[in-house]
Each structure stands twice: as C-alpha cells, then as structure tokens.
Chains A and B, each alone.
Chain A
Amino acid sequence: MAKRTVIPFGPHHPVLPEPVHLDLVLEDETVVEAIPNVGFIHRGLEMLCKKKPFQDIVLVAERICGICSMIHGVGFSQGVEKVMDIDVPPRAEYLRAFWGELSRVHSHILWLGLAADAIGFESLFMHSWRVREMVLDIFEETTGGRVIFDVCKIGGVRKDIENEILKNRFSQQIDKIEEEYSKLAKVFTEDYTVCHRWSNVGVLTKEDAHKLGAVGPTVRGSGISQDMRTLKYGAYEHLDFEPVVENSCDCYARTVVRVKEVFQSIDLMRQVISKIPDGEVETKVKGTPKGEYFSRVEQPRGEVVYYVKGDGTKNLDRFRVRTPTFANIPPLLQMLGGCDLADVPAIVISIDPCISCTER
C-alpha cells in the first residue's frame, strides 16, 4: 500500500468563493477518502427567525443566498401560505415563476463562468458574466435590486410588471440573451478542451446519486429525472415542463444539464409572458399561522426544503431550511473517492457549491 498523505483543501481556495474545507486522504496522487468540514461562517439564521414576525422572515429567507434569493423567498412564503390556507393571486404566481426562472438563468450562467475559470478558460468566464449582466439588468429594472430583490411576500408579490413591458421589451431582451448565450452554450458542450477536461471526471452513478440523496443538476446529470417543479407548485401547474436529464454521470453531464436548463428557463419565461393573467398581485393576509408544512421548491442547485411550524402566534415555532448544497455534500465525497488530486477543483465546482446557503 502506498503511503497515505492528508492534504487540506480549503477553506480558502481559488475555485471556492466561500470557505469550506476538505481533508483529502491521498495515496500517491489518488484521493482515497475525503472528509468535509463546514461551519466556518454559520450565520444562525434559523435561530434569528425565532423572534421575527412570520411576515418578516421572507426577507431573511431571501438573504440566505445571494444568487437564488428569489426562490428562497418563494419556498418560505409557499409554506406559510399552505399553513394559513392563503390563495395567492394567479398573476403573482406567474410573476414568481418569471423571476424564479430568471434567477435560474442568472445562477447557471454565473456557475458556467466560474466553471470555465476553474479550468483556466478565462475568456469564456468573462463572456459568461457579460451575458449574466443582461439578466441582472432585467432584475434591476423590475425589482430595483440586482441580487436581493425583496419582491416576494406572503400572499403574493410586492411589485407588478406592466404587460406592455413584459410582452414587448422583456421579450426582446430575452431573445437577445438567448442569442448571445447560444454562442457560449456551443463552446461549453462542443469545445474539445472543455469536453476533455470534464468527461469521465467525478463520476456519480445513478444508484449512488439516489442512495446519497443528490439533488438538482447533480442528480439529473446521473440519469435521474428529479425536479421539484414537477410537483406543479405555483404557476408551474400551467407551464409545460420536462426535467433535463443526462446519463454520462460525470462533470460534463452536470455541465450539459445546466447549459440546457438555461434554454429551458428561457422557454418557461416565454410561456409566463404569453399566459400571465391580469389581476391583483397580492392577497391581504389575516391571522397568524397555526400548523406545519414542509415546502419543497426547485432552486438552481436543486431541491430546497422549508419546514415551517406555527402555533397561532406571530412568531413561528420553527423555521428550518435544508439547502441543496447541504444535500450534495455526501454525493461530492463519493465523487472524490478514487479521483486524481488535480481533478478535485473541477469536481468540487461541478456540484455548484453554495456555502452561503449551507451556512444559513
């Protein structure tokens, strides 16, 4: 048996925008075991919410993550709306879906840029983020924020978008984003260097992905059709949608899933624009929550679970979040076993780790 060496990976590393640590046990250049270490910046947001009125927790939920904040707000609001039996106006549901899919486009393009950077493809990184700016412009114009939006509230949304602007100007902007993104997508899926770097690296079999509880593009890249939007929550009840699935189970498959999901989100936004009904965007909320519900929605990184339990007072008994990256840590450990040390950064980034979410 070769001599074993333990290499610390992180908490600060060029491919990691946030701190997470892995102890990599190596035999020569091969990783035989990886032990995770999180909790460097645990924020205690679940604890913070014990003393917040339930309506204010939406604002905290949106701040769990700076990339997919909209869908965090929707996940929490949906849980409370179920407990309180609130009917959200259809227009608000469509607007939530619009901003949610826009968040997915933003998140995936941001990730594609980071992934390109991780394999040394700097120009691809810069072009990806150039396209991302076009997405952020729509956010800024419709919500006033580029990263944190604060438009979601219990019972609906805080802002409306005029039909005229949605159907004309934003339709054109989405066409422009798609046109620009198509050029990038071709590089991510066909360029020899990119394909070669990610193919057969970080393999997670279909069986392991299920057994280890993988979620999001990580599980769909392993051939499992699992996407919480299939639950038909909110406006997804009225939108045509099939999960994107790839079968090669490696980093390349996870990349292709995200590349295709951007086109899918653009299609969903077009469906929203064509089907959005007129009407109110919020329902007046009366009373306080009493009961419990596990609200599940699909983030760009996968399934997020919000557990809300109320006892009839303005403060919740329990506000709990299980984020997608937390669920993807055990699958990551499986992918790292047996890989080359040089492949570790590419594999770690392939699950799109969000430590901000994990350290909620």
Chain B
Amino acid sequence: MFEEQEVKIIKKENLHSEVQTVIDDDYRLVQMCATKTDKGLDVDYTFDKEYKFLDLRVELPADKLELPSISGISFPAFLYENELHDLFGIKISGIAIDFAGKFYRKDEEAPFNNNTEIQEK
C-alpha cells in the first residue's frame, strides 16, 4: 500500500506565510531537499500531520538561488538549510544556526549544482 502524497507548488514570496499556515495547523517538518531542473532548482519542504503527507515546492531560477530561512518558524529547518547551502549553493538568509558553509567538510563548492565530476577510485 502506498500513501497519497500532495505536492503543492508555491511562490517564493509566499514561503513564510505558507509554512506558517502549515505549522499552525500542527504539521511537523519532515525534511527539506533540492533537485536540479532545467530552469534552476526545485526546493521541497515536506510536512506530515498524523500520516498526512504534504510537500511545498518552491521553484528557484538558476540565476537567483536565494531563499529566506524558515528556521524562525520551524527550528529543525536550520540543519536542512545549511545542507542546501553547502550542497546546492542556495543563499539562505536568517538561519537560526548558520554554519556559513562549514556544515559539511568537502572539497567542492555546491557539488550538486556545479556539474562536479564524480571521481571513482
């Protein structure tokens, strides 16, 4: 049996209000992740309320990879936001605990967004 999943595409300008509404409705933040697309990046904010799955998706253009932090609304977001910065190069302003690019120790800047070649030994 597979669960029903709702993916809702929202505008970046509405991110705070949408997340605030979801959190006020007693959802919990499950995870955040990004996926590279032809136009830029899709950033997913996944929530759950009593096994009801909801995903808010923000589409970011490649030339403007910037987002406001939601860690003021949902504190656990700070981990995912640091990860998004380090792996995808998204500039996120106002993170509750900002590691300033030192969350992961890695050789490449934003490897998922810079066509980094995988070196297999």
Q: Mark B45-76, 1 if CB is under 8 A from A, else 0.
A: 01000010101000000000000000000111
List A contacts of B74 (CB < 8 A).
Answer: 211, 213
List A contacts of B91 (CB < 8 A).
Answer: none
Instruction: From known contacts A230-B51, A294-B53, infer whether A82 and B118 are also in contact, taking CB-CB under 8 Å.
Output: no
Instruction: From known contacts A39-B104, A212-B75, infer whether A309 and B1 are also in contact, taking CB-CB under 8 Å.
Output: no
Asked whether any CB of chain B lies closer than 8 Å to the CB of A187, the reply is: no
Asked whether any CB of chain B lies closer than 8 Å to the CB of A161, the reply is: no
Asked whether any CB of chain B lies closer than 8 Å to the CB of A50, the reply is: yes
List A contacts of B102 (CB < 8 A).
Answer: 39
Instruction: List residues 82-115 of chain B with CB under 8 A from any CB of chain A.
Output: 97, 99, 102-106, 111-112
List A contacts of B1 (CB < 8 A).
Answer: 231-233, 237
Number of interface residues of A (CB under 8 A): 38
List A contacts of B78 (CB < 8 A).
Answer: 330
List B contacts of A303 (CB < 8 A).
Answer: 30
Number of interface residues of B (CB under 8 A): 34
Q: Complex Cα distance A233/B4, Å? A: 12
Asked whether any CB of chain A lies closer than 8 Å to the CB of B14, the reply is: no
Complex contact B105–A42 (CB within 8 A): yes
Instruction: Name A330's contact: one of B26, B76, B99, B116 (CB within 8 Å).
Output: B76
Q: Complex Cα distance A333/B111, Å? A: 29
Instruction: Name A294's contact: one of B5, B26, B76, B79 (CB within 8 Å).
Output: B5
Instruction: Name A317's contact: one of B36, B103, B111, B120 (CB within 8 Å).
Output: B36
List B contacts of A132 (CB < 8 A).
Answer: none
Asked whether any CB of chain B lies closer than 8 Å to the CB of A273, the reply is: no
Instruction: Name A322's contact: one of B30, B99, B120 (CB within 8 Å).
Output: B30
Q: How far is the CB of B110 from chain A (nearest CB, A)?
A: 11
Q: How far is the CB of B57 from chain A (nearest CB, A)?
A: 10
Instruction: Name B118's contact: one of A50, A233, A293 (CB within 8 Å).
Output: A50
Q: Complex Cα distance A305/B80, Å? A: 14
Complex contact A38–B116 (CB within 8 A): no
Instruction: List residues 27-59 of chain A with CB under 8 A from any CB of chain B.
Output: 35, 37-40, 42, 44, 46-48, 50-51
Residue on A nearest B112 in the bound complex, by CB: A47
Instruction: From known contacts A35-B97, A237-B1, A307-B33, infer whether A47 and B111 are also in contact, taking CB-CB under 8 Å.
Output: yes
List A contacts of B36 (CB < 8 A).
Answer: 317-318
Complex contact B28–A213 (CB within 8 A): yes
Complex contact A231–B51 (CB within 8 A): yes
List A contacts of B5 (CB < 8 A).
Answer: 293-294
Q: Mark A312-344, 1 if CB is under 8 A from B, else 0.
A: 000001101010001101100000000000000
Asked whether any CB of chain B lies closer than 8 Å to the CB of A296, the reply is: yes
Asked whether any CB of chain B lies closer than 8 Å to the CB of A210, the reply is: yes
Nearest 9 Cβ contacts at the A-B interface: A322-B31, A39-B104, A330-B76, A318-B35, A42-B104, A320-B33, A213-B76, A232-B1, A213-B28
Q: List 21 A-B contacts (CB under 8 A).
A: A35-B97, A37-B99, A39-B102, A39-B104, A39-B105, A42-B106, A47-B112, A48-B118, A50-B118, A212-B75, A231-B3, A294-B46, A296-B30, A303-B30, A307-B35, A317-B35, A318-B35, A320-B33, A329-B79, A330-B78, A330-B79
A39-B104, A48-B118, A294-B55 are known contacts; what are 4 more A-B pairs with Cβ within 8 Å?
Answer: A82-B2, A211-B28, A294-B5, A330-B75
